[in-house]
């Protein structure tokens, strides 16, 4: 069975400090991995996907198949990064809209 685990419910960091959100998954096969973000009073939106190997808003995420992890990192947190972050997985044969989400990590960046 596929599963996505985000061990931290809450992550509190100071502005300018590095931030890392952990995500581990279990899946037999090659999944598609995503990070979604929900800012206060806004809708859930895609932040980045592993297949693109991109950096969005200073965030990067590396897929480590050996450790089955997809941690999200940013070297210098900003106050506007305060939000709820969800790691999500889609099967390689499914639509990217059919997602298995982790429980989410609330990030609070304090000045």
The footprint of another protein (CB under 8 A) covers 32, 43-46, 49, 51, 86, 94-104
27 or 86: whose CB is closer to another protein? 86
63 or 77: whose CB is closer to another protein? 63
Residue 93 vs residues 7, 79, 96: alpha-carbon distances, Å: 27, 37, 9
**Min CB(95)–another protein separation in Å:** 6
28 or 95: whose CB is closer to another protein? 95
Burial of 101 (0-12, 13-18, 19+ CB in 10 A): middle
**Min CB(92)–another protein separation in Å:** 10
Sign, CA dihedral 10-59-61-98, equals: positive
Q: H or E element: which one contains 84? A: strand 83-90
**Min CB(103)–another protein separation in Å:** 5
């Amino acid at each position: 069975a596929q599963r996505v685990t985000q061990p931290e419910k809450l992550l509190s960091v100071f502005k300018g400090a590095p931030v890392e959100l952990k995500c581990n998954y279990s899946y037999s096969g090659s999944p598609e991995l995503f990070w979604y973000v929900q800012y206060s009073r806004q809708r859930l939106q895609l932040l980045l996907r592993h297949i693109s190997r991109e950096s969005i808003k200073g965030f990067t995420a590396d897929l480590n198949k050996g450790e089955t992890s997809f941690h999200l990192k940013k070297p210098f947190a900003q106050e506007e990064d305060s939000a709820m972050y969800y790691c999500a997985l889609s099967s390689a044969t499914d639509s990217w809209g059919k997602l298995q989400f982790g429980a989410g990590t609330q990030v609070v960046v304090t000045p």
